[in-house]
Amino acid sequence: MLELAEAGLSRHVQREPEDDHLVNYLNKVAKPYRQEGLTVETVVMEGTPARSILDFAEAEEVELIVMTTHGRTGLRRWVYGSVTEKVMRGTNAAVLIIRPNEVQSN
């Protein structure tokens, strides 16, 4: 699991106070999966989302990237771009895209 903050990698390195909030959030999200016996690594990074995801995936030789999407269309997508699309175009790894409402309904 990867949480991104705007603007280096702070993986058990000197962390800022706001990083503690992100680490706590990620550990809370990861807890049920860990209780099921899955190995879950959480990482807090700074930078633009797409570039950070791509850099991490390449450095860690990730084979599968799972992402949710906001589902922006039209002008909003053109103005903001699409992190998911940038990741899909920038990686050789498989990318699984899940819409947030699909996650909640299961």
38-62 pLDDT, tens digit each: 988 888 888 899 999 999 999 999 9
The Cβ of residue 50 has, within 10 Å, a number of other Cβ atoms equal to: 20
Q: How many CA atoms lie within 13 A of 55 on its CB side?
A: 13
Q: Residue 58 and residue 9: Cα distance in Å, rounded?
A: 14
pLDDT value of position 76: 61
Domain segments of the chain as ranges: 1-47, 63-106
Length of the chain: 106
Identify the pLDDT of residue 102. Answer: 54
Cα–Cα distance measured from residue 88 to residue 96, given in angstroms and rounded to the nearest whole number: 9
- Residues 95 and 62 sit within 8 Å (Cβ to Cβ): no
